[in-house]
Amino acid sequence: MATYSTNEFRSGLKILIDGDPCVIVENEFVKPGKGQAFNRVRIRNLKTGRVVDKTYKSGDSLEAADVVDTEMQYLYTDGEFWHFMVPDTFEQYAADKTAVADALPWLKEQDHCQITLWNNAPLTVTPPNFVDLRIVQTDPGVRGDTAQGGVKPATLETDAVVKVPLFVEEGEVIRVDTRSGAYVSRVKE
């Protein structure tokens, strides 16, 4: 079983705490002139997303979490699982609803996503930063209507709803920043 000593702590390191995979977000080494050194770390639980602060005596070790990030192509969903494939090896992985939950509004077939595998099973799915999606429903824009700050809701092919400028029309493809859910631009086909 692999372990990491506090010496090896750095942001991005994946460790196991109380059986859950976690990532170190921040690591601070503190030590008085003489005496006990400590590592104060901020840790995000990769299953729950919860962030906690912990203190370890320097020299302590934590179990490594077998967590790797892999780029995969999204293939399809059978309603229960979402299926992804590693392009180089054609190896397929099935992600459950919990793993895809955050990515679901942006998940389009053929797109490449980052899959975080824990013990070789998908733990989280991160969509590309920008995705191009077709608008399946939006009201016709009225020129000069700025009552809504010049934007209107538009439903995309993935059922996500984003705010788009008034001039954008139904049937058009738009680019969305998946990190903020914000409209970026129209995409010419």
User: Per rule CB under 8 A, is residue 11 in the interface with another protein?
Assistant: no
User: Per rule CB under 8 A, is residue 63 in the interface with another protein?
Assistant: no
Nearest Cα neighbor of 177 from 115, 133, 116, 139 is 133
User: Per rule CB under 8 A, is residue 56 in the interface with another protein?
Assistant: yes
- CA 62 from chain centre, in angstroms, equals 25
Interface pick for another protein out of 55, 92, 98, 180 (rule CB under 8 A): 55
C-beta separation of 99 from 124 below 8 A: yes
d(CA 21, CA 160): 29
- The least CB distance from residue 52 to another protein, in Å, is 8
Q: Which amino acid is at 186?
A: R
User: Per rule CB under 8 A, is residue 50 in the interface with another protein?
Assistant: no
User: Per rule CB under 8 A, is residue 34 in the interface with another protein?
Assistant: yes
d(CA 133, CA 154): 11
Interface pick for another protein out of 2, 3, 50, 59 (rule CB under 8 A): 59
Backbone angles phi, psi at 60, to 5 degrees: -65, 160
User: Per rule CB under 8 A, is residue 35 in the interface with another protein?
Assistant: yes
User: Per rule CB under 8 A, is residue 92 in the interface with another protein?
Assistant: no
Contacts with another protein by CB under 8 A lie at 5-7, 27-38, 40, 52-60
